Amino acid sequence: MATAVVYFSRAGQNYIAGEIQDLKEGNTYVAARKIALHLHSLFFELKPVDPYPVDYHECTERAQRELERQDRPALADDLDISGIDTVVLCYPCWFDTFPRAVATFLELHSFAGKTIIPVCTHEGSGMGHSESELKKMCPKSEIKRGLAIRGSQCHECDAAIAKYFD
Ligand SMILES: Cc1cc2nc3c(=O)[nH]c(=O)nc-3n(C[C@H](O)[C@H](O)[C@H](O)COP(=O)(O)O)c2cc1C
């Protein structure tokens, strides 16, 4: 059986340490790539069919609307998880939990009997309540204690990854 690093991330405008920056690569992508290299594992992106706006405010408006309505944005590709027993699920903290595109993925599959390791990048909220939402959505999975990484530190998170995974 295998491990897969599955991630959602968004490049574009974001608030980093209190100011708007234009990120060419999303923070979560940067951290998830390091984790996949560290674990020599599969690496899979949860890519929405309708990409999120580059503009920060437009993105937060859409994200909030999706959360209120409990939308499940369609994903462009899917991953066959039948041969996978551990999913390292990487996502940004959006309004204290994971983006709804991650919820789409969780509902597409049964994770019963599998292990999920949540990794959340954030700007202050840590894991938020994403772990408890994950437990509710995947009650038959083993949900490990999550790893929270501050978004602005994703480029320098190698030591934190080694400490957590080794
Ligand atoms: C729509 C939206 C909502 C966010 N909500 C939170 C939040 O509730 N708490 C927090 O600490 N950071 C929040 N952030 C900041 C992101 O979690 C953080 O910048 C993350 O590292 C972004 O990862 P990404 O570049 O992979 O998308 C939010 C960012 C966006 C765009």
Per-residue pLDDT, averaged over 91-120, amounts to 98
Q: Given ligand 1 and candidates 35, 123, 133, 149, which is best to mutate, with the most ligand atoms within 8 Å of its CB?
A: 123
Residue 113 Cα to ligand 1 midpoint, Å, equals 30
Residue 140 Cα to ligand 1 midpoint, Å, equals 28
The pLDDT-based confidence of 68 (bands split at 50, 70, 90) is very high
Report how far residue 17's alpha carbon sits from residue 123's, in angstroms, rounded to the nearest whole number: 7
Report how far residue 59's alpha carbon sits from residue 75's, in angstroms, rounded to the nearest whole number: 17
Evaluate if residue 3 carries a pLDDT over 80.
yes
Residue 16 Cα to ligand 1 midpoint, Å, equals 9
Residue 8 Cα to ligand 1 midpoint, Å, equals 12
**Distance, first Cα to last Cα, the chain:** 19
The confidence score (pLDDT) of residue 1 equals 73
Domains, the chain, with CATH or none? 2-165 (3.40.50.360)
Say which range, 15-29, 86-100, 115-129, 137-151, has the weakest mean pLDDT.
15-29
The pLDDT-based confidence of 128 (bands split at 50, 70, 90) is very high
Residue 120 Cα to ligand 1 midpoint, Å, equals 9
The pLDDT-based confidence of 5 (bands split at 50, 70, 90) is very high
pLDDT tens digits for 6-60?
A: 999 999 999 887 889 999 999 999 999 999 999 999 999 999 999 999 999 999 9
Structure tokens given for 20: 């708007």
Give pTM, 2 decimals: 0.98
The pLDDT-based confidence of 100 (bands split at 50, 70, 90) is very high
Q: Is the CB of 130 under 6 A from ligand 1?
A: no
> Is residue 31 within 8 Å of 43, Cβ to Cβ?
no
Report how far residue 151's alpha carbon sits from residue 23's, in angstroms, rounded to the nearest whole number: 11
The confidence score (pLDDT) of residue 16 equals 81
Q: Look at ligand 1, atom 8, and give the residue with the nearest C-alpha.
A: 95
